[in-house]
Amino acid sequence: MHVRKLAVATIFFFAFVASARANLVTNGSFANTGGVWVNNTLLGSDDWQSSGATGIPGWSNVPGFANEFWFNGASNVYGLTQSPGNGSAFAVDLTGQANNKPYGGIEQTIATTPGVTYDLTFDLGASLQYNGTGLNSAALTASATGTIVDSLQLFILAPTGYNQWQSESLMFTADSSSTTIEFLADSNYTSEYVGLDNVSVTAVSSTPEPSSLLLLATGLLVLGPFIRRLAHS
């Protein structure tokens, strides 16, 4: 009986610890949460600059750069699909239906712990049908901003095939209790497609966050009595 209780307590403890390392991004797969997506282009996409557009759940447009579309990878005329690592059938093209400059951008504010290092990962998409090499590559700038810009980097993908996705990573150390992550297609490049999908932010700091220390202490308090009983049984 003691062994069984210890096993159950251990499982719950490590489940709590795992939750502390969970993805902090809301709807990083760009899922059609709440069924709000509309095919307002009649081409398999919800284009922000077309009539009747709806916002992507969990995300906002970067002010002054509202020019992207949210597409259904399972059914569209563009020949585009979502990232293989995505948990939904949807993804985003930051150049929009009309491909007008300035291109589009989206952002989201997440809760962070000052001093903790995080890993922002995402998939960047490109296709030979819409992109080329050099200044015709798919290009976006990813950034993480608290009270200051904690990290910013340009990511480029010159495709060698169709529906090509490349995993990218941006490390940042938070300086605030909230951090805005942003993806902005680079208008210095001329592209008809800058795909974005599978966005995630997880804590990777080697120094435990206060919340993790609290979970550890709670776990030890839970496990302690069982361990003592086992030692005396």
Place of tokens 């929009």: 96
Task: Quickly state the pLDDT bin for 98 (edges 50, 70, 90).
Answer: very high
Instruction: Please state which of the ranges 147-161, 184-198, 208-222 shows the lowest mean pLDDT.
Output: 208-222
Rounded distance, CA 169 to CA 119, Å?
7
Poorest-pLDDT segment among 18-27, 97-106, 146-155: 18-27
Provide the whole-model pTM. Answer: 0.82
Instruction: Give the rounded percent of residues in the chain with a pLDDT score beyond 90.
Output: 77
DSSP string, 186-233: -TTS--S--EEEEEEEEE--SSPPHHHHHHHHHHHHHHHHHHHHHHH-
pLDDT digits (tens, 9 = 90+) for 77-88: 999 999 998 989
183 and 105 in contact (C-beta within 8 Å)?
yes
How high is the pLDDT of residue 210? 54
pLDDT digits (tens, 9 = 90+) for 39-88: 999 999 999 999 999 999 999 999 999 999 999 999 999 999 999 989 89
- pLDDT tens digits, residue range 107-128? 999 999 999 999 999 999 999 9
Domain ranges of the chain: 23-207
Q: Which two tokens stand for residue 77?
A: 């005329």
Predicted pLDDT of residue 207: 55
Residue 11 pLDDT exceeds 70: no
**For residue 62, what are the contacts with CB-CB under 8 A and spacing of at least 6?**
104, 105, 106, 107, 182, 184
pLDDT band at 13 (very low <50, low <70, confident <90, very high): very low
CATH architecture of 23-207: Sandwich (2.60)
Phi-psi sector, 79: left (phi>0), alpha (psi -120 to 50), beta: left
Strands (E), the chain: 45-47, 60-61, 69-72, 90-93, 105-111, 117-126, 138-145, 149-157, 164-173, 178-185, 195-203
Q: What type of residue is 229?
A: R
3-state secondary structure 92-107: EECCCCCCCCCCCEEE
**202 Cβ neighbours under 8 A, 6+ residues apart:** 21, 22, 23, 24, 118, 119, 121
Nearest to 70, CA basis, from 52, 50, 96, 51: 96
Tell whether the model's pLDDT for residue 8 goes beyond 60.
no
Q: How far apart are CA 98 and CA 169, in angstroms?
A: 29
Question: How far is the CA of 38 from the CAs of 2, 56, 154, in angstroms?
Answer: 55, 11, 31
Query: How far is residue 81's CA from residue 91's CA, in Å, rounded to a whole number?
Result: 8
The pLDDT-based confidence of 12 (bands split at 50, 70, 90) is very low
